[in-house]
Each structure stands twice: as C-alpha cells, then as structure tokens.
C-alpha cells in the first residue's frame, strides 16, 4: 500500500485479483484487462477508484451506484460517455473527479455541474471549450 495525499487514504495498486473479489469488483477483471482498477481505501472502506480498463455500460452503471466513492480517476478512459456524467453527478460523496485526456465536452460538464458534493474537477486536455468552463465554476482545475 502507498499513502496518498487524499486524506487518510491508501492506494492498492491493481495487481491482486483477491482485492477485487473482496470489494465485489471481480466483474471488472477480464482477459484483456487483468488489472482494471486501482483501489483507494480508508478505514476499511472503498472510497476511490483509478480506472485502468475500458468501461462498457454495465461497468459504468456499477461505478455510478457506488455511493461511497469520494475519488474517481478516469484519466485516459476508454469507453468514456458524456451522458454518464449525469449519473456521476448524483454520487453523494464524490469530491474529486479526474478526467484528463477523455472526450469530456461542454454537454458533459453541464451534467457534472449538478453535483452537490464535487469539490475538485480536473479536466486537463479534454474537449471542454471556454464556453463550458463557467459551468464548473471554481471547482475546475485546468
């Protein structure tokens, strides 16, 4: 485990299938993606994910139903979907969302602006134009 600067959170690198089984995430493991997720753990609870695999609709839905997520790193995500941002905006504890090098656009950022919990949104190298920036106000870091 590696200590991160995200509160008292520990990062489990994506290298052990039993970790995925323990957290009920084995459906993310496949032949094409043997190490699909990095896990952020605090107080024996899963509080964050670093997604390293392509997400289909089923996997996107599973993530959107993880109500305890506080940190979600989707950097360079394959299978990114702007409409999915509306589901992520409903996550009650999501504080940090990393979307570097995704196809996030102004429509997606508008959906994210509905989040009541999001404190930091990292949208470097996305398709968000200047017109979309005011939608995320001060929570965006470019």
- Give the residue with greater pLDDT, 6 vs 133: 133
Q: What is the mean pLDDT of residues 88-92?
A: 95
* Residue 51: strand pairing partners: 37
Token pair in block for residue 74: 């989707």
Task: For residue 43, name the pLDDT band (cuts at 50, 70, 90).
Answer: confident
% pLDDT > 70, the chain: 83
How is residue 114 written in tokens? 């509905």
Residue 79 has pLDDT above 60, yes or no: yes
User: Which residues are CB-contacts of 100 (< 8 A; sequence separation ≥ 6)?
Assistant: 75, 76, 122, 123, 124, 125, 126
Q: What are the tokens at 69? A: 């997520």
36 vs 15: which has the higher pLDDT: 36
In the predicted model, is pLDDT for residue 142 greater than 80?
no
Coil/strand/helix, residue 101: coil
Predicted confidence at residue 64, as pLDDT, reads 94
CA distance 96 to 70: 6
Whether the per-residue pLDDT at 90 is higher than 60: the answer is: yes
Q: How far apart are CA 84 and CA 112, in angstroms?
A: 9
Q: What is the mean pLDDT of residues 90-100?
A: 94
- Contact present, 116 and 98 (Cβ < 8 Å): no
């Amino acid at each position: 485990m590696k200590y991160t600067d995200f509160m008292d959170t520990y990062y489990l690198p994506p290298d052990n299938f039993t970790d995925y089984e323990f957290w009920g995430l084995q459906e993310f493991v496949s032949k094409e993606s043997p190490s699909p997720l990095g896990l952020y753990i605090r107080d024996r609870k899963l509080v964050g994910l670093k997604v390293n695999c392509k997400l289909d609709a089923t996997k996107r839905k599973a993530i959107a139903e993880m109500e305890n997520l506080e940190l979600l790193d989707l950097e360079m995500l394959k299978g990114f979907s702007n409409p999915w941002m509306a589901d992520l905006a409903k996550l009650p504890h999501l504080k940090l969302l990393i979307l570097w090098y995704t196809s996030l656009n102004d429509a997606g950022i508008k959906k994210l602006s509905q989040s009541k919990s999001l404190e930091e949104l990292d949208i470097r190298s996305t398709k968000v134009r200047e017109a979309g920036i005011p939608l995320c106000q001060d929570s965006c870091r470019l």
